[in-house]
């Protein structure tokens, strides 16, 4: 496996995300189930692993149960992170598969991995209990996308995205993450 601190191997975040809601408590199975259900509550979402494992295509998820099982497995690992991108048809834009070339000399022979580019991608990051990071749902704003568009001329235009839909879906998923986390904390305190 690639060493995360090695620049040649580290996944690069090529977008600035805003706005976001963070939760600072462990992600429980009930939180994962609620988030997965919310993602698939609207028809035909594109849901994919944000960064593939080295030398493998990124996974795509076609249903709530499949996504939930994947996310539970990811957050249960040491330093676990379940990280997916979500796009709905009414958001207008399309995710574009991007190849990240790795230096095999620094990455134990691994040559590449994949991620997705797109101005309106919704980023869902759920961290396991060993992480000091906070789980979040985030997306670019139209202002940020326009401000950064010249930096990434190879990307499709920010004008391809329906920003009201991006914002609406992002806020809906943020509300679900926050409510599910609060409910899980209440159960823990009562428990």
159, 164, 165, 169 alpha-carbon torsion, rounded to 10°: 130
Position 60 scores a pLDDT of 98
122 contacts 137 by C-beta, under 8 angstroms: yes
Output the pLDDT for position 22. Answer: 56
Residue range 57-83: mean pLDDT, rounded: 95
Tokens of 170: 């992002």
Burial of 83 (0-12, 13-18, 19+ CB in 10 A): middle
Query: Burial code of 21-52, b = ≥16 C-beta within 10 A, e = fewer?
Result: bbbeebbbeebbbbbbebbbebeebbbbbbbb
Residue with the larger pLDDT of the pair 113 and 132: 113
- Rounded CA-CA distance 121/123 in Å is 6
pLDDT for the residue 59: 97
Distance between CA atoms of residues 151 and 10, nearest Å = 20
Tell me the C-alpha distance between 28 and 118, whole Å.
29
| Across 43-59, average pLDDT | 96
Average pLDDT, the chain: 86
Is the pLDDT reported for residue 188 higher than 70?
A: no
pLDDT value for 17: 47
Q: Residue for token digits 């095999």?
A: 104
Which pLDDT score is estimated for 6? 39
74: nearest Cα among 112, 137, 131 = 131
Answer yes or no: is pLDDT of 134 > 70. yes
Compute the average pLDDT of residues 139-168.
95
For residue range 13-50, list pLDDT tens digits in order: 444 444 455 555 668 899 999 999 999 999 999 999 99
Confidence tier at 191 by pLDDT (50, 70, 90): low
Phi, psi of 2 (to 5 degrees): -65, 145
Task: Please tell me whether residue 34 adopts helix, strand or coil conformation.
Answer: helix
Q: What is the mean pLDDT of residues 58-78?
A: 96
Extract the tokens encoding 51. Answer: 């960064």
Helix (H) or strand (E) holding 100: strand 96-101
């Amino acid at each position: 496996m690639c060493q995360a601190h090695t620049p040649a191997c580290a996944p690069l975040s090529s977008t600035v995300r805003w706005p976001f809601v963070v939760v600072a408590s462990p992600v429980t199975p009930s939180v994962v189930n609620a988030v997965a259900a919310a993602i698939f509550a609207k028809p035909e979402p594109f849901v994919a692993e944000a960064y593939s494992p080295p030398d493998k295509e990124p996974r795509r998820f076609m249903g709530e149960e499949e996504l939930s099982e994947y996310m539970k497995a990811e957050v249960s690992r040491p330093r676990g992170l379940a990280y997916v991108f979500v796009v709905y048809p009414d958001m207008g834009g399309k995710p574009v598969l991007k190849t990240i070339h790795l230096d095999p000399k620094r990455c134990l022979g691994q040559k590449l991995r994949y991620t997705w580019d797109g101005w309106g991608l919704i980023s869902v990051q759920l961290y396991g209990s060993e992480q000091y990071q906070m789980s979040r749902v985030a997306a670019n704003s139209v202002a940020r996308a326009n401000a950064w568009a010249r930096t990434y001329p190879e990307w499709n235009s920010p004008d391809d995205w329906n920003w009201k839909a991006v914002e609406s879906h992002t806020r809906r998923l943020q509300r679900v993450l926050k409510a599910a986390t609060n409910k899980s904390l209440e159960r823990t305190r009562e428990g």
